[in-house]
Amino acid sequence: MSVHEETGPTTAAGAGRRAWAPNPLRDTATVFARQMRPLLHRPLMLFFGMLQPVLYLVLFAPLLTGLAGAEGQNPWQWFVPGLLVMLALFGAGFSGFALLPEMSSGAHERLLATPVSRVALLLGRVLRDVVTMTAQMVIILVLVTLLGFEASLAGAVAGLLLLAVLGAGLATLSYLTALAVRQTFVFAPIIQTVLMPLMLLSGVLLPMELAPPWLYALSRANPVAHVVDAERALFAGQWDASVGIGWAVAVVLAVAALAVGSRAMRRLSS
């Protein structure tokens, strides 16, 4: 056998591996497109995810008239920015549910057996969640604007970007939780136990200024409360210190979550 014949198969195998080398950007786009396909085929799913915030908007917001922080203005001006944070909190927080059936059916393990970038398997899903969540927020904003809600255009755009960053961090943590517990009956109570205090202590539903001092102090330790403050300032066209604090909280959360998530996904292939 000649040297050329001996090295030929090895060279071909090496070329095959190079051809299938993971490309994080390309693979993220591929995973994103795959994850978006069910939504594009059933666009009504987008509206079902908005049902809870819309019910809060219609049935709860009118009760805020006359409360501190809402006096003399349409209660929606105060409530809508917080409502969008609620949508991000629960929409991104429960995103790990979508991964559980794939793990139980073996579909996730089959994806891990492909040469696709492991980090892209996470980023593609997170990007899908952020795009879906943002589309829902835009629909809600269009609806409430037609009904009299007023907002600064620049502030609204900055507010949506802020919530996209927050949603990326929360969705990543949700997927990490799903990967860790792998069971719906374990995942659901964990996520619910974490999200409910975050929402109640964020001032989404009622002004935390109305709370007793100890409860208000506790709310200040809640990172979501600072994002709520930033959203209300942005939608009102106010670029004050609360905006910087809200962005800092969201960016730190997203960067930390994505760093931990990327490391966890790489370990799955080792």
CB-CB contact of 221 with 74 (8 Å): no
CB-CB contact of 163 with 134 (8 Å): yes
- Judge whether residue 27 has pLDDT over 80: yes
- Judge whether residue 210 has pLDDT over 90: no
- Judge whether residue 2 has pLDDT over 60: no
> What span, in angstroms and rounded, lies between the C-alpha atoms of 139 and 31?
25
Instruction: Tell me the longest C-alpha to C-alpha distance in the chain.
Output: 91
Would you place residue 10 in the very low, low, confident or very high pLDDT band (cuts 50, 70, 90)?
very low
Percent of the chain beyond pLDDT 90?
57
- Least trusted range by pLDDT, from 89-93, 104-108, 216-220, 225-229: 104-108
- Judge whether residue 152 has pLDDT over 70: yes
Greater confidence (42 vs 247) lies with 247
Q: How many domains does the chain have?
A: 1
> What span, in angstroms and rounded, lies between the C-alpha atoms of 100 and 22?
25
Output the six-digit token pair for 230: 């930033």
Tens digits of per-residue pLDDT, 60-103? 888 877 664 554 567 788 899 999 999 999 999 999 998 999 88
What is the enclosing helix (H) or strand (E) of 228?
helix 223-235
Percent of the chain beyond pLDDT 70?
88
Give the pLDDT of residue 270. Answer: 52
Average pLDDT over residues 212-220: 94
Long-range contacts of 149-155 (CB under 8 A, 24+ apart): 149/74, 149/76, 149/77, 149/80, 150/74, 150/77, 151/80, 151/235, 151/236, 151/237, 152/234, 152/235, 152/236, 152/237, 154/237, 155/233, 155/234, 155/235, 155/236, 155/237, 155/238, 155/239
> What span, in angstroms and rounded, lies between the C-alpha atoms of 245 and 34?
35
Indicate the DSSP class of residue 61.
G
> What span, in angstroms and rounded, lies between the C-alpha atoms of 164 and 177?
20
Residue 177: which of 111, 268, 263, 93 has the closest Cα? 93
Tens digits of per-residue pLDDT, 161-186? 999 999 999 999 999 999 999 898 99
- Judge whether residue 8 has pLDDT over 50: no
- Judge whether residue 215 has pLDDT over 90: yes
Output the six-digit token pair for 266: 């790489």
pLDDT mean across residues, the chain:
86
Structural domain boundaries, residue 78: 3-268
The Cβ of residue 6 has, within 10 Å, a number of other Cβ atoms equal to 9
pTM (two decimals): 0.86
Output the six-digit token pair for 179: 């990967």
Tens digits of per-residue pLDDT, 96-130? 998 999 888 888 888 888 888 889 999 999 999 99
